[in-house]
């Protein structure tokens, strides 16, 4: 199937876990909607205007009854997208504006052209993204743990930008409600033995996303969650 260069894609569903991102989600959805017909935000019990803002921007918002965690929201969004037979691909995207539309489009195109079931975004394949020193340690640790427990060799584990073909999306069932899902999803995708690739992406670190990002202490939580379960 070929697409016009700037056509709106209606076979790829964008899934965004949404939790208290009213300041950013409007712009994120607006931009995505220029190229994707289906943008699904999974509201994870936001207490701000996130839902109204996302709906106004044209997203389909589905809502958790209360806060369950980003992993749970991601799984709900993927399950929802899969109920629509038109969904050939699913793109997972962050709500805080740190991912770029051009990267998602490039990854999707690559998945189609190279017949890949999974394309992981990686901010460490080139040197455009510059996380701080501490953050680099956290992310590299996450990568090491992920690689040991999955057998895949990724350069970036906790990147929310991914492209999943339908068969890959059907192969996952996330149990980790909190941040450990980012490793769990790699584990489960690795088990599907489908073709995958990593694609260099640029992650935009603003003061806003820095304030919300992973802390060093939280990476301890991620490790414990993964080891115990």
Partner 1 sequence: MWFQIILVLALLGIAVYLLRSTPSPRHLAIRRLVMLVGILVGIVVIIWPDLLTVLAQLVGIGRGADLLFYVAIIIGLLYTVNEYKRSVRLARLNTRLAREITLTEARLNDRISELEARLDSGRRDASRSATE
Asked if 76 is part of the footprint of partner 1 (rule: CB under 8 A), the reply reads yes
Among the listed residues 63, 110, 166, 202, the single contact to partner 1 using CB under 8 A: 63
Of residues 6 through 45, those in contact with partner 1 by CB under 8 A are 42
Asked if 177 is part of the footprint of partner 1 (rule: CB under 8 A), the reply reads yes
Q: What secondary structure letter does DSSP report for 115?
A: T
Q: 93 φ, ψ to 5°?
A: -140, 150
Asked if 62 is part of the footprint of partner 1 (rule: CB under 8 A), the reply reads yes
User: Residue 227 Cβ, how far from partner 1 at the closest point, in Å?
Assistant: 13
Asked if 64 is part of the footprint of partner 1 (rule: CB under 8 A), the reply reads yes
Among the listed residues 70, 75, 159, 219, the single contact to partner 1 using CB under 8 A: 75
In this structure, the dihedral spanned by the alpha carbons of residues 129, 137, 222 and 100, taken in order and rounded to 10 degrees, is: 0
User: Which region among 5-13, 50-58, 62-70, 89-97 touches partner 1 (by CB under 8 A)?
Assistant: 62-70
Q: Binding mask 77-96 vs partner 1 (x if CB under 8 A, - otherwise)?
A: --xx--x-------------
CB 89 within 8 Å of CB 37 = no
User: Residue 228 Cβ, how far from partner 1 at the closest point, in Å?
Assistant: 8
Within 10 Å of residue 114's Cβ, how many Cβ atoms? 10
Q: What six digits make up the tokens of 77? A: 């969004």
User: How many whole angstroms separate alpha carbon 207 and alpha carbon 96?
Assistant: 11
User: Which region among 58-66, 91-99, 140-148, 160-168 touches partner 1 (by CB under 8 A)?
Assistant: 58-66
Helices (H), the chain: 22-33, 50-56, 70-82, 101-113, 133-150, 166-170, 181-191, 207-212, 216-228
**Contact positions vs partner 1 (CB under 8 A):** 42, 60, 62-66, 68-69, 72, 75-76, 79-80, 83, 175, 177, 228-229
């Amino acid at each position: 199937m070929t697409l016009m260069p700037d056509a709106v894609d209606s076979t790829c569903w964008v899934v965004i876990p949404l939790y208290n991102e009213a300041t950013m989600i409007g712009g994120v959805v607006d931009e995505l909607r220029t190229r994707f017909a289906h943008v699904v935000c999974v509201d994870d019990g936001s207490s701000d205007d996130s839902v109204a803002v996302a709906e106004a921007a044209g997203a389909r918002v589905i809502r958790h009854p209360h806060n369950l965690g980003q992993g749970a929201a991601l799984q709900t969004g993927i399950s929802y997208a899969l109920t629509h037979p038109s969904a050939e691909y699913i793109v997972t995207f962050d709500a805080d504006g740190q991912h770029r539309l051009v990267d998602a489009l490039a990854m999707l195109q690559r998945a189609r052209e190279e017949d890949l079931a999974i394309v992981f975004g990686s901010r460490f394949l080139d040197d455009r993204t510059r996380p701080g020193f501490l953050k680099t340690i956290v992310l590299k640790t996450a990568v090491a743990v992920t690689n040991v427990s999955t057998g895949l060799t990724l350069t970036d584990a906790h990147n929310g930008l991914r492209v999943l073909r339908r068969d890959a999306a059907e192969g996952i069932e996330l149990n980790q409600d909190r941040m450990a899902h980012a490793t769990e999803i790699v584990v489960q995708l690795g088990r599907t033995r489908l073709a995958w690739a990593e694609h260099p992406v640029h992650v935009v670190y603003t003061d806003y996303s820095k304030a919300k990002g992973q802390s060093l202490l939280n990476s301890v939580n991620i490790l414990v969650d993964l080891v115990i379960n």
